[in-house]
Amino acid sequence: MERVYNLCIFIGRQEKADIEILKIASLLHDIKRDGEKGDHALESSVEAEKLLRKLHFPQNKIMKVTDAIKAHRFRGKIKPLTLEAKILSDADKLDAMGAVGIYRASSFGAESKRSLQQTITHFHEKLLKLRRLMYTPTGKNLANKRNRFMLAYLKQLEAEAVLN
């Protein structure tokens, strides 16, 4: 969550977005992510709305936050329409890319007992496709850099895996 928060602020400043909305949306975007099947983005938006209402947050801002949260999911059916929603979506995808993305994929692979080949397949089926799904110029630039790093890593990993 902290990485997505920092990415949102960085991209938001570059893209001249509403930083307050981005801060809150990024802090709450995965509030209902519990590993269960279902749409955690939609569930998180509902929970965020409840919380923000309790805090007497202005209704127009609640809607901006929840709209961003609803649309942030990689596999979600709701497409981000506002700048803030696009930034949250970009930041969330960027967190799955680059050095941190490699660490996350490897950790998850070990935890779920994926083979090395299954983890490599995950890169090709999902992670290497993320750069084409960015919405903002800043997100696209960061994604291209992280994608190049992942490709270099995979090239080396695949070369070493053949020798073992």
Question: Which DSSP category does 56 fall into?
Answer: T
Instruction: Please indicate, yes or no, whether residues 107 and 136 belong to a single structural domain of this protein.
Output: yes
Instruction: Please indicate, yes or no, whether residues 54 and 9 belong to a single structural domain of this protein.
Output: yes
Burial level of 82, CB count in 10 A (0-12/13-18/19+)? middle
Instruction: Please indicate, yes or no, whether residues 102 and 148 belong to a single structural domain of this protein.
Output: yes
Question: The CATH number of the domain where 59 resides is what?
Answer: 1.10.472.50
H runs (alpha helix) in the chain = 2-15, 19-28, 40-54, 59-70, 83-94, 98-111, 116-125, 137-163
Entry pTM = 0.89
Work out whether the CA dihedral 122, 152, 139, 20 comes out positive or negative.
positive
Instruction: Please indicate, yes or no, whether residues 47 and 110 belong to a single structural domain of this protein.
Output: no
Domain that holds residue 11: 1-78
Asked, for residue 35, whether it belongs to a domain, the answer is: yes
Q: Hey, is 151 helix, strand or coil?
A: helix
**Has residue 15 got a pLDDT over 80?**
yes
The domain boundary, picked from 45, 78, 111, lies at 78
The predicted-structure confidence for 106-121, as pLDDT tens digits, reads as follows 998 889 898 888 888 8
The predicted-structure confidence for 25-83, as pLDDT tens digits, reads as follows 999 888 777 655 667 667 877 788 889 999 999 999 999 999 998 887 666 678 899 99
The token duo for 133 is 């799904």
- Count of domains observed in the chain: 2
Rounded-to-integer distance, Cα 88 and Cα 106, Å: 24
Asked, for residue 32, whether it belongs to a domain, the answer is: yes
